[in-house]
A and B are shown apart, each in its own frame.
Chain A
Amino acid sequence: MVFLFSELIDYVDERMDVEMKQVTAVIFLVSFLIWGTSAAQAQTTQKDLIHGLGCDSCHDTEVPQKLEGNGVCLSCHGSYSEVAGLTSKMEPNPHVSHLGEFDCVACHKPHGESEFVCNQCHEFEIKMPEAAN
């Protein structure tokens, strides 16, 4: 499902301007969530776009709360420098920067469209993977 979704986003990406894309993304998202929960018969009620995990995989409180820091991400992905190792062939390496160990979710947004934050100031030729994993 996640794979399909990212393909669709790519399709949308090529054809629409950003605003339209966002609206369309939401429509796709909603329809896919409905499709996803019924078709895949998942136990959870809502899915996270990046990993297809349940809410409680990251938020372990009854009422999900905003998470601080990278602890939850790194509990699966290892240390920040291990993550940097995975992208060491990229130029520049997005996980080695003057921001130090930056918030993972600043770019990889579990609940929204991911954004390569560095390019708010820079102009690197790097695109976010739509759905990593």
Chain B
Amino acid sequence: MESKGVVKENAGGIQVDRRTFVKGTAAVAMALGVGGFLDNIFGQQVKAHEPAPRPTKWDEEFDVVVVGSGTGALAAMVAKDAGFSAVILEKAATWGGTTAISGGVLWVPNNYLMKEAGIEDSLEEAFEYMKKASFGQSSDELIHAYIDNANPTLDYLVQNGHKPKIQVPYADYYHGSIDHSRKLGRSVIPPGLGRELMRTVRAAVDARGIPVYLQTPAVSLITDESGAVVGVWAKSPAKGKISIRARRGVLLATGGFDHNKEMREHFLPGPVYYPSAVPTDTGDGILMGMAIGADLRNMNEVWGWPVKEITIAGKKMGSFDGGGERAKPGSIYVNRFGQRFCNESANYDATTRNFYWWDNSIMDWRNIPAFCIVDSEYRKRYKFGRQKPGVEQPWMNRSDTLEELAGKLGIDAEGLMATVERVNIFAEEGVDRDFHRGEKPFDRLTYGDSERTDLKNPCLGPIKTPPFYGVRVYPGSLGTCGGLRINGNSQVLTPYGKVIDGLYAAGNTAGSPAGAGYPGAGATLGAGMIFARIAALHMAKKN
């Protein structure tokens, strides 16, 4: 890493130093204004993410430094068990990141619960499935690493108090579309969801005496003359800027760039509304890696899900519309022309893709915003914007006629009425001739309402009982899933495929092993925890 002098520049009224780098993606990083990402931490402006000089004396020393307390936390436990010291740095005041607010589901093919339940599976089939389900944006190396290390990771969690069950009725997300899927069993969930999972992990971390520094963001990586990562600079609430040596390696697990507007705009192919990740996931780890020349992968991807725009206590927010609502009979998505544009009962990630149609006839996103339309039969049975049946809210735009509803939401009324008429015929016939809703086993098994004996298709119901309800829906995300390019050891690589010694990434800070797909519920936490464990095992082997 060469420094070509220092340029003074005014960013937001503050004088900052910007070094110019010549190698690798550092140039891209500069173009994005890495030097301009000023974090206002503890009321003090600090310059984040630029590689900082090596300290003359380290403030603290550990074998393994884990940055981020979500899925990465597992690495600290594994390192400690191998006899090494570890620390977890967390920017937020709270533990567990997005992982702790998640469903806590892990996607683990051929797991012990499947065996107990007599569900047949094999790692070979899982590999074949995941290879197709990552749509060309992963690699055999990463997929093998995922599949081969999934069970050891789950078993390790279970040894440490994790008590999952098979997630019923979750089929693989492309079940019926991609071969070697399973209709049940690969997704496992703890009863208390992500909160319970991360409570278990925290107890295990505490039991090992691993320090967790909250409100202590890592701000930049420290490298030696060879370019190897040997530590991090962090901001401590009590001590200010501190240098922390990592004798064996640094694991960047700072989540995605969900809340970094500039990165979202420059990397993602379209807008993402109301991102669901914790607000501290601002791409820090990715930027820190870029700043020392790391390569990137999968930056155009998110784990997508649609969100309904609701208002609670005067505050607009996105309520995720995973499938429990959207996919049920009597609910459809339409665009402003009143036209449907997707199979509403497909998995949420695939459904989110259908929002991104840039239509050159109107020079705009044709399906953004979209609208979820339901009738009173639907509202009697299912939640709407997470509100139970019977709960009325002004943002539901309750209307006696579809025309009135279209007027309130700005939808073409004729278009909407024609669509609903057509959907009602489909419902009667049990066949969605436009988007094949309810044809794939996934739709029926996972999201359909099998108790509706009044329907020919458990995913398709008529929309005819007034009053009608409608809300805006947008493409949202559970997390971005592009980031630093890693190999099967979770080691970060340069654009030339060279390993950056001492630097590891996992979770949404790394280019996802699932690429542009979402193989099944739990694949995102899976990618995080599996690769965090792999990283720690690799660091432990270093001599």
Interface of A toward B, CB cutoff 8 Å:
81, 84, 88, 91-93, 96, 98-100, 102-103, 106-107, 117, 120-122
Contacts and interface: CB of A to CB of B under 8 A. Distances in A.
Given A103-B315, A106-B313, A121-B319, 6 more contacts: A84-B93, A91-B195, A91-B199, A99-B317, A120-B387, A121-B385
Given A84-B93, A100-B279, A117 B313 contact: yes
Contacts of A121: 310, 312, 319, 385-387
B93 A98 contact: no
Contacts of B276: 98
B45 interface: no
B94 A102 contact: no
Contacts of B310: 121
13 contacts: A84-B93, A88-B93, A92-B101, A93-B94, A96-B93, A98-B278, A99-B317, A100-B279, A106-B315, A107-B313, A121-B310, A121-B319, A121-B386
Contacts of A98: 101, 276, 278-279, 317
Contacts, number: 41
B314 interface: yes
Interface of B: 93-94, 101, 195, 199, 276, 278-279, 310, 312-315, 317, 319, 385-387, 391
A106 B314 contact: yes
A85 B313 CA distance: 23
Contacts of B199: 91
Chain A interface secondary structure, helix, strand, loop or mixed?
loop
B314 A103 contact: yes
A103 B279 contact: no
A96 B391 CA distance: 26
Given A93-B94, A96-B93, A98-B317, A117 B312 contact: yes
Contacts of B93: 81, 84, 88, 96
In the A-B complex, the 4 residue pairs with the smallest Cβ-Cβ separation, listed nearest first, are A106-B313, A121-B386, A117-B313, A96-B94
B279 A102 contact: no
A99 B315 contact: yes
A107 B312 CA distance: 11
Contacts of A99: 315, 317
Contacts of B94: 93, 96
A93 B199 CA distance: 14
A99 B101 CA distance: 13
Given A120-B387, A121-B387, A102 B315 contact: yes
